[in-house]
Structure 1
């Protein structure tokens, strides 16, 4: 039976998911030939993704696993998940290069793939995050509201990591906006899937491992793709400074509403 609390929780999760479109929209106010903005946006996104991975996603996953399996075993499984996520991403990249290695690609193609890789990593993260927010709402909607605000704050800069590379590579605002929106909608989708199915099959260990894998994917994408690509368009010092600013923004957003 669908109760008022279920509808409120889902509505809150949907609003949070739609916030991904806001960051995407903001990036379109900058001229497409502004290479400095592209560089700083990419490194800013890297800072966001690295910080949120190490300070929120990985610790949350590790805590979930340790709560079920104990500190010693949980720590090792969390580390395997984290580095497994990195190896998985590296393997996928190698496979792509093998099948696509005989063709010359310009920066536009590279940027487009970069945006898609960021989209996949963030989408995988958004599904359990949406379920977590929805579950918190079911328990107590007053607890879920500050969590939702915090997620909205960090959804906006995360969406830049998706929309900016796609927009700069294709010039298509609609495509960049659509990808960001679809990734955002993974949060309410996670809530629906969790409510209908996953609560029966998934547990804290599964979610914990998923979180650690996602953290590994996001750190790898940041170090292997976002930062190096950023430094092609701008002085590497400015690129690093922008990444640090991204970390500060994420730190403040998580500090305002700790979740």
Structure 2
């Protein structure tokens, strides 16, 4: 179990590598920040569509049936997206009220939006990492060699997720240390998920609980990528540059998912 916990912690720590890339001095330029945001958006869209949504439907299928499971999962995705949109609307309305009162704290709304996006993405990635940590832990307890393969694949998978967390924070001007800390903490959800899942959650939660979480997380991540990260990147760089970084993020995440399935 000690080896399993170490493997899980190392896999989760890979988000820090993505965080380091996102706070590199090159990202201080508008072009660099746009590339980081586009990369993060590509990674988030790909992992949501190719992994999180199908896994949620798969986990609901035994109790609902395949067609109904997909319908329920897509409804959860829509619910997560609508909930995020409502939070965005409330934040925008509050910013407008402060502007009318002459409050200068909202002088840079783009940075405020990026900060809000970073917070939401950090929570969503952390929730997504909880079951990944449990999967690595259980696989290692059963077979350490298989667990090592799973841990390596998840570590590669976590690097672009670290970019997705750190880039909005860094773009919002919170500083390199705090942006990196946010990426690292989101990765620590994996060993936390391993311990809680192995000792508590398996006994308390039905199998469909994670499926519900997956659907909501996918909706949040898709909405943030489309309405916050990509528009922010486009304001900073050309469409071609944003499209290139978006494709790089999606491609990196696709490769990590392929390695994870092989493992």
* Corresponding residue pairs, total: 254
- Give the distance between the partners of 1:99 and 1:48, measured in 2 at CA: 30
Query: Is the contact between residue 48 and residue 249 of structure 1 (CA under 8 Å) also seen in structure 2?
Result: yes
Matches within 5 A, 1:86-97: 86-97=81-92
- Give the distance between the partners of 1:78 and 1:238, measured in 2 at CA: 33
Unmatched 5+ residue regions in structure 2?
A: 99-105
Of 182, 191, 201, 1:179 maps to: 182
Partner SS state of residue 54, structure 1: helix
Matches within 5 A, 1:161-172: 161-170=164-173, 172=175
RMSD of equivalent CA atoms: 1.7
Instruction: State yes or no: 1:120 paired with 2:123.
Output: yes
CA change 1:254–1:32 in 2 (3 A) is closer
Q: Name the residue aligned to 2:5.
A: 10
Of 195, 214, 217, 1:214 maps to: 217
Instruction: State yes or no: 1:25 paired with 2:28.
Output: no
Query: Is the contact between residue 32 and residue 171 of structure 1 (CA under 8 Å) also seen in structure 2?
Result: no
- Give the distance between the partners of 1:230 and 1:88, measured in 2 at CA: 23
Instruction: State yes or no: 1:47 paired with 2:19.
Output: no
Moved more, 220-229 or 206-215: 206-215
Q: Name the residue aligned to 1:230.
A: 233
Deviation at 1:124?
1.4
Deviation at 1:19?
1.3
CA change 1:36–1:46 in 2 (3 A) is same
Deviation at 1:171?
5.2
Deviation at 1:81?
1.4
Q: Name the residue aligned to 1:192.
A: 195
Partner SS state of residue 170, structure 1: coil
Query: Is the contact between residue 68 and residue 204 of structure 1 (CA under 8 Å) also seen in structure 2?
Result: no
Partner SS state of residue 203, structure 1: coil
Give structure 1 regions of 4+ aligned residues with deviation exceeding 4 angstroms.
Answer: none
- Give the distance between the partners of 2:4 and 2:63, measured in 1 at CA: 27
Instruction: State yes or no: 1:66 paired with 2:61.
Output: yes
CA change 1:87–1:45 in 2 (3 A) is same
Deviation at 1:32?
5.1
Deviation at 1:234?
0.6
- Give the distance between the partners of 2:167 and 2:49, measured in 1 at CA: 23
- Give the distance between the partners of 1:193 and 1:46, measured in 2 at CA: 30
Of 236, 251, 263, 1:248 maps to: 251
| TM value normalised by structure 1 | 0.91
Unmatched 5+ residue regions in structure 1?
A: 1-5
